[in-house]
């Protein structure tokens, strides 16, 4: 039902099922020496990166499988904190930990979660390929928090259609300057949702989410031309930066 470049696999059972998996590797996705990082936070993040994929597909979380490769040097308190973070985030979104695997390693820690969710009868999966030219482009929450925080940690301190985004409209994290917009559109991992819909429906969604105290900001529109362009003042720039790429 969905292509490999979508946010989760989808197949048909009694209802549509969405599945996704993500892995966090020590030294690549996190460093234990980062100030303020706890195993409880690692567990919460492991669940968050998977829950965001199900949300992007419009699926309700159901069950999770957790697979961990941990060094024998970890103390029980750290392992307990990791599982506590996982279970807290799962419980927050009604997700059941159904099982998983545990292995030892002499190398870096590897944390993997696989989540399965369902789409109620009549709800279609939200595909990346469904946008139409002229539709508005909206994003929830604020952008740039994760990238800004990572910068502090690294510094040692705690038919395809295309999108045209307006820098002045980006809901940047307080403290980020407008010239730091690349942090928000390509380098950050904020787990916010981006959506495309006819302009009228976006306005309706804004009002509905406002009652939940969740901001939805219209940041641009879908264009029939290929590529992604950013409007900055009176200039239109082609966006050449992308998200994080492994092996580069």
Look up the CATH number of the domain holding residue 208. Answer: 3.90.650.10
Name the nearest CA neighbour of 2 among 127, 130, 131.
127
| Per-residue pLDDT at 127 | 87
Measured at the CA of 7, the angle between CA 110 and CA 151, to 5 degrees, comes to 55
73 found inside a domain: yes
Q: Is the pLDDT of residue 205 over 70?
A: yes
Q: Is the pLDDT of residue 194 over 90?
A: no
On whether both 115 and 142 belong to a single domain, the answer is no
Token pair for residue 69? 């490769």
245 found inside a domain: no
Segment 226-243, tens digit of pLDDT:
777 777 667 777 766 555
Please, which pLDDT band fits residue 145 given cuts at 50, 70 and 90?
low
CA–CA separation, 111 and 133 (whole Å): 39
| Residues 63 and 96 sit within 8 Å (Cβ to Cβ) | yes
Please, which pLDDT band fits residue 156 given cuts at 50, 70 and 90?
low
On whether both 65 and 105 belong to a single domain, the answer is yes
| Per-residue pLDDT at 19 | 95
Which of 57-61, 125-129, 144-148, 228-232 shows the lowest mean pLDDT across its residues? 144-148
Q: Give the total number of structural domains in the chain.
A: 2
Percent of the chain, pLDDT > 90?
41
| Per-residue pLDDT at 204 | 94
128 found inside a domain: no
| Per-residue pLDDT at 181 | 43
Element (H, E) at 211: helix 199-211
164 found inside a domain: yes
Mean pLDDT calculated for residue range 138-148 = 67
Name the nearest CA neighbour of 194 among 136, 144, 237.
136
182 found inside a domain: yes
Q: pTM of the predicted model, to two decimals? A: 0.74
Its domain, for residue 67, covers 9-119
On whether both 19 and 58 belong to a single domain, the answer is yes
| Per-residue pLDDT at 143 | 65
User: In this structure, which long-range contacts are made by residues 3-10, counting pairs with CB atoms below 8 Å and at least 24 apart in sequence?
Assistant: 3/127, 3/129, 5/128, 6/57, 6/125, 6/127, 6/128, 7/53, 7/54, 7/56, 7/57, 7/128, 8/53, 8/54, 8/56, 8/57, 8/59, 8/117, 8/125, 10/57, 10/59, 10/119, 10/125
Give the residue, 176 or 69, on which the prediction is more confident: 69
Segment 103-126, tens digit of pLDDT:
999 999 999 999 999 998 888 898
Token pair for residue 5? 């470049």
Q: Is the pLDDT of residue 180 over 70?
A: no
């Amino acid at each position: 039902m969905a292509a490999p470049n979508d946010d989760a696999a989808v197949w048909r059972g009694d209802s549509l099922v969405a599945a996704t998996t993500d892995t966090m590797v020590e030294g690549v996705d996190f460093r234990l020496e980062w100030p303020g990082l706890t195993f409880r936070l690692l567990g919460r993040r492991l669940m968050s990166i998977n829950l965001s994929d199900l949300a992007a597909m419009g699926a309700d979380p159901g069950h999770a499988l957790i697979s961990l490769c941990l060094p024998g040097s970890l103390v029980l308190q750290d392992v307990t904190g990791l599982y506590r973070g996982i279970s807290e985030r799962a419980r927050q979104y009604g997700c059941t930990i159904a099982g998983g695997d545990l292995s030892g390693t002499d190398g870096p820690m590897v944390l993997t979660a696989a989540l399965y969710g369902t789409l109620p009868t009549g709800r279609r999966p939200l595909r990346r390929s469904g946008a139409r030219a002229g539709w508005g482009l909206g994003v929830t929450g604020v952008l740039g928090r994760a990238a800004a925080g990572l910068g502090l940690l690294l510094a040692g301190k705690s038919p395809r259609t295309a999108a045209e985004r307006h820098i002045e409209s980006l809901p940047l994290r307080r403290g980020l300057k407008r010239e730091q917009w690349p942090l928000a559109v390509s380098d950050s991992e904020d787990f916010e949702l981006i959506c495309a819909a006819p302009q009228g429906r976006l306005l309706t969604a804004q009002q509905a989410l406002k009652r939940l105290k969740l901001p939805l900001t219209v940041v641009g529109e879908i264009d029939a031309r290929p590529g992604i362009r950013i409007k900055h003042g009176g200039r239109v720039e082609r966006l050449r930066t992308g998200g994080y790429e492994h092996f580069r």
